[in-house]
Each structure stands twice: as structure tokens, then as C-alpha cells.
Amino acid sequence: MSELIFVTSDSCELCKKGFKKVKIFSYFTKIKQVNVEDGYQEYLLRIPVLLKNNEVVDEGIFSRIKIFKKLLF
């Protein structure tokens, strides 16, 4: 399985809650946290964003079921 990229920013409460939801997937794949200002400015108004192969898996308020389904296919 490929690496997941979790796009976040400093002092983002929604990002902290989102990371708690995706943390369980770290048993299956590596999750890399990146700051939105480090080359991911296109997601500035959409954070938190979870990416797989440069495609958005989920954004905003995360759904574990939605993420799980997208990771399977």
C-alpha cells in the first residue's frame, strides 16, 4: 500500500481531530504529516486533507468508512 499524506497547519483543531481518526490506518500504511505551506497551498482552504497518490481521499471532517473504502480500491 502506498503512503498517505496528511496535509495540516499549525493550531488547527479540526486537523488534530482528523489525525486521531486516521491514526488507526498507520498499522497498514505510513502516514506522513506535512504543513500546508510546504508545497500544498492548493489545499489551504480545505485542510485537513488526506492524500493518496496525489488524489484526495478525504477532507474536512474525516469519515473512517469513506477512507477505508478508498484505500481498498
| Nearest residue to 33 (alpha-carbon basis) of 14, 2, 1, 5 | 5
User: Would you state the pLDDT for residue 22?
Assistant: 96
Return d(Cα 38, Cα 19) in angstroms, integer: 18
Q: Where in the chain are the domains?
A: 4-72
Residue 17: helix, strand or coil by DSSP? helix
Q: 48: cis peptide before it, omega within 30°?
A: yes
Tell me which fold the domain 4-72 belongs to: Glutaredoxin (3.40.30)
- pLDDT tens column, 17-70: 999 999 999 998 999 999 999 999 999 999 999 999 999 999 999 999 999 999
- Whether residue 1 has pLDDT greater than 80: no
Torsion over CA: 22, 39, 60, 17 (sign): positive
